[in-house]
Amino acid sequence: MSKNLPNNQQVPPNYRSNTLNYGPITNPYSYQTGNPNANYAQYQYTVPNNHTQPTIPNPPNNSEGRMANEHVSQLVQELLTIDKREAALLELSKKREQIITLGQVLWSSFGTMTVLLQEITSIYPLLYPPKLKSHASNRVCNALALLQSVAGNSGTRIKFLEAEIPNYLFPLLQTNSKNRPFEYLRLTSLGVIGALIKNEDEFVVKYLVGTNITLICIKIIETGTDISKTVATFIIQKLLQTKDGVVHICENQNLLKELLRVLQTVLPSDNSSSGGLIKHVSRCYLKLLANTPPGTVIIHESLASGSIASRVGSDQSAVRALFQLQSEYNKIMSTKLIQN
């Protein structure tokens, strides 16, 4: 199974903020409409009589904290009501960094995950041909931001994968349009994958290497904006930090060749790349150098020469990654020169 900015277009949540026995979820709705402006939230759940308001695990004891949690629980419940859903999605996406257990609340609350998947699948007809507008993109990005909370939570991450939820994101990630609504859709979808793999969980890695996510990320590294390239490279780097990821990439010659090709072109000649992208590219190269035969990897000229060092600024982790890469690469090249 297998992102000039319009005034009403909001920037989706950044992936850096993301610190089951459950059967596969199938798409409950099939949207058949040729109208790109059709109401894509046309279904509402009937809440059972015994349904109770969502509760937040380990609630704070102070009254201010309890009030905040009650508000979040109310917003989660409002996701089930069509005319309140859009506002609830927006408000919850703003609060996801404040409520660390939000992922658990979303997962365990009646109907919530299906509502979020409904929001995603509702825009499928707008992807090909590309008809997605800013308003619809913003709404889905808010739903995806909530999925990031579920994907990034240690208590729901495995359940999220067992339910095959990442498969709902691949149609969004494989879009080609460079319009802002599509770029932000890809970026926020990447954020969900980034939240999954951030901690290099073995189960997550095994799951992802069984999908097309590596090729999808390689394509985004080649064609996306700087921030999309950064998130996609971060995902590749995290894969390369693990044994299964190294085998998946380094022992697949076609995949390795494609990755090395895009890494050679990802950093522009004017050295305008962000420090984050440089850091993740450097770390990718380090793992590739350590896990391929000498001479297989030829790193980007600006990284080898150090001419790009000024772009990393005060990011010490980026500075260390770049310095370590230059040191390792020079060592390998010196050994190769001696052998010849």
Between 249 and 332, the more confident residue is: 249
| Residue 207: band (very low, low, confident or very high) from pLDDT cuts 50, 70, 90 | very high
Share of the chain above pLDDT 70, in %: 77
For residue 322, what pLDDT is reported?
Answer: 85
CA distance 271 to 268: 6
Yes or no: say if 228 and 274 are a contact pair by the CB < 8 Å rule: no
| CA diameter of the chain | 79
User: pTM to 2 decimals?
Assistant: 0.80
pLDDT, tens digit, for every residue of 111-143? 999 999 999 999 999 999 999 999 999 999 999
| Residue 107: band (very low, low, confident or very high) from pLDDT cuts 50, 70, 90 | very high
